[in-house]
Structures are given as C-alpha cells and as structure tokens.
Amino acid sequence: MKPEINIRNILITDNKPLAVLIRDTMTEFGVNRPNTVFDDPRTDFLFEEFQKNRSVYNVAEINGQLAGGAGIYPTIGLPGDTCELVKMYLKPQARGIGLGRMLIEKCISQAKELGYKNIYLESMPELKKALSVYENIGFEYIKGPMGDSGHSGCGLWMLKKL
C-alpha cells in the first residue's frame, strides 16, 4: 500500500519533535558537533523562527506521522535575492522514497513565489546522500560560505540559481 504523504506548514506543536529529529539525525551521521544546528538554540523554536518575513518551513508527514522537514530562510548577510535552504532532515524510514526531493522542490517553488533568485545551502561531507540529491536538483558547489548562519561547523556550500 502506498503511503499517504502530506506536506504542510510548521505548527508550534512541531517544535519539540523537529528538534529531536534534527539532533537524532545529526548524531546518526556523526555530525553532532559545535557551531551547527545541533547546538543552535534556535533549533528548539523553529515555529517562532519561521514567522520571519520571506521564510517558510514545510513539515512532511507520512500516514499522519512527522517524517521530516525543510525550509527557506532569509539568512543574515545573504543578498536580498538569496535565501538559504535550511533544516532539511528526514527520519530514516522516510529516506529513499523521494520525499527529500519533494521537500526541496516545494522550497524552490516557494522561493520563486517569494521573489528569490538564488537558494544557498550549507552541508557537510558526511551527508553524502543529501549532497547527491542537491547536485541532482541543480545545486552547485561554491568556494566558501555566504551570509552569517552562525554554523561555521559546516564545510560545504552550494548555490542554485532559480
């Protein structure tokens, strides 16, 4: 039986389960280190963080259960025409079914609607499958970070022109 997938806007009740998902995933991949979303206090308050103008966070559910999420955010220091793809995480059972691609494509569509011309992201070499998805969607590696996300623990940066 095909799972029922629903992508919706973040709710305040998603704060705790999303923070747990993000930190569990980072621990799973061995990237639970300082200066990343792992120790960023904003990770515990995503609903509040995504009330900012020109930002959006999407929560994915499979059969009514939280399975992951991704958002776009006008990170400090980025040009006005560029947003950041942020907090892209999936539960293990939600991987490999195209859900990550669905979330990213939704974020791309929303970024265009909000007038952005580029999407930037920060990642880490350990997240090989995610990097492959980003590459397949058209993100290209750039030489260094853009903006001031506060996540200096990330060592890879990518950009996609919309």
Q: What is the pLDDT of residues 64-90, one digit of tens each?
A: 999 999 999 999 999 999 999 999 999
Percent of the chain surpassing pLDDT 90: 85
Delimit the domains of the chain by residue range.
Answer: 5-161
In the CATH hierarchy, which fold is given to the domain comprising 5-161?
A: Aminopeptidase (3.40.630)
> Environment class of residue 16 by beta-carbon count within 10 Å: exposed (0-12), middle (13-18) or buried (19+)?
exposed
Average pLDDT over residues 45-73: 97
Average pLDDT over residues 16-45: 93
158 - beta bridge partners? Answer: 121, 141
Cβ–Cβ < 8 Å for 25, 141: no
User: Structure pTM?
Assistant: 0.93
Cβ–Cβ < 8 Å for 72, 119: yes
Mean confidence (pLDDT) of the chain: 94
Average pLDDT over residues 20-24: 96
Asked if the model's pLDDT at residue 53 lies above 80, the reply is: yes
